Structure 1
Amino acid sequence: MRKWILMIIVIGMLGWAVYDFIDSNRKSADQVKSEDDVQLTEETKLGEENEEADEPVIGLEVGNKAPDFQLQTLSGDTVKLSDFRGNRVMINFWATWCPPCRAEMPDMERFHQDKDVVILAVNLTDTEPSLEDIEKFSDEYKLTFPILLDENLDVATLYMIQPIPTTYMVDSNGIIGFRAFGAMNYDLMVQEFEKME
């Protein structure tokens, strides 16, 4: 009788060991699957965060996406910054009564003629005595790039313009590559233009 009891205990222990081994393999497989699911979820989240991180921030610092705007030109056309995506753009804020603006205009015209650059010359129209003064200025300097009229200073406010002239160089992806407070000369324009893509 003792043999039978001993055999039942041994068979029971052996059965328990087999059951425990199979159960632990199942749990281990479930845990690995669960960890893989967690890892995939984390990778997906990281991928989504990286996609969001790849989208540049709209702002006024170098490396930011330039804020979009739309203005009318002196000739009556409507111009929007985002329409020039794919081109390098120089945005220049100026006024006819500003001596440094007058000083840099010949260099801007030469730069416009020599390089494949879009120049958007944003005039602070609200500060001007009259529209005729802007037309005379454009004729006097023989400007061939568009003169944009910021009649309510909305764009100047958007770009937080303090001194004029202020210039932003924007690359073909709409990213600010350079900004200058004060007049620029031709060589600096070319130098900063050639750094952009």
Structure 2
Amino acid sequence: MIRGGLTILIFFLLILSDTMVHATRNGEQETHGEAIIAGAEVSQLAPKFTLSTIDGKEVKLSNLKGRKVMINFWATWCPPCKAEMPAMQQLYNQANGYMEILGINIDPQNDVTGFVRKNQLTFPILLDKTGRVNEDYSILSIPTTLLINEEGMIEKKHIGAMTLEQMEEFVME
């Protein structure tokens, strides 16, 4: 009886470990000749993207190399996302060209334009219509904010809403 249970357990563990190896290998992707591991983390090269703003203008992350970039993943239905938007707008006003702030919206099927107008947001709001950028950055919870340094590396990552003071600390340290 015990021997049969042990055999089943070992068989199950072998299948599980094989599945995990394949999942890890499939998590790697090739982007412009550079291997990028899915689940962009601190100290990794930020996955490149090109997205459109709500006005239809294209924004390429690679065009911002040489500048600090704060990227915030958010949705219109997310209460913590909505709560931090006024602070993000204040930070954008204070940044005065020191850095770029990009809001990447993950629910473009909703009235993003109405939300932006109602909240008088002037920093670029990009629409991730396919979910590809959200996937490339392995965003599991929103809001999630990343700080990309001048070399294009992810310097910091914060999950959850932030106050203006927390944002200032996030981009300055």
Under a length normalisation based on structure 2, what TM-score does the superposition of the two structures give? 0.74
Q: Note if contact 1:57-1:65 (Cα within 8 Å) is conserved in structure 2.
A: no
Higher helix share: 1
CA displacement at 1:105 relative to structure 2 = 0.1
Cross-structure match for 1:118: 100
Identical counterparts, % of pairs:
43
Helix, strand or coil: the match of 2:135?
helix
SS at match of 2:172: helix
What residue identity is the alignment partner of 1:156? N
Amino acid at match of 1:89: V
Residue 170 of structure 2: aligned partner: 192
Task: Show structure 1 runs of 5+ residues with no match.
Answer: 1-55
Change (3 A) 1:191 1:58: farther
Residues in 2 aligned to 1:191 and 1:166: alpha-carbon distance in whole angstroms: 16
Residue 91 of structure 1 aligns to which amino acid in structure 2? I
In structure 2, distance between residues paired with 1:57 and 1:184: 31
Is 1:107 matched up with 2:84?
A: no
- C-alpha root-mean-square deviation of aligned residues, in Å? 1.6
Shift of 1:125: 2.8
The answer to whether the 8 A contact 2:76-2:107 is kept is: no
- Mapping of 1:78-117 within 5 angstroms? 78-115=58-95, 116-117=98-99
How many positions carry a matched residue from both structures?
136
Q: Which residue of 1 aligns with 2:11?
A: none
Matched-pair contact (CA < 8 Å) for 2:49–2:61: yes
Q: TM-score, normalised by structure 1?
A: 0.66
Letter in 1 for 2:94: D
| Divergent runs of 4+, >6 A | none
Maintained 8 Å contact 2:146/2:154: yes
Structure with bigger strand share is 2
1:119 & 1:125 partners in 2: Cα distance? 19
Greater relative contact order, per chain length (Cα 8 Å cut-off, separation 6+):
2
Q: Is residue 2:122 matched to residue 1:144?
A: yes
Where do 5+ consecutive residues of structure 2 fail to align?
1-33
Distance 2:171 2:158 in 1: 13
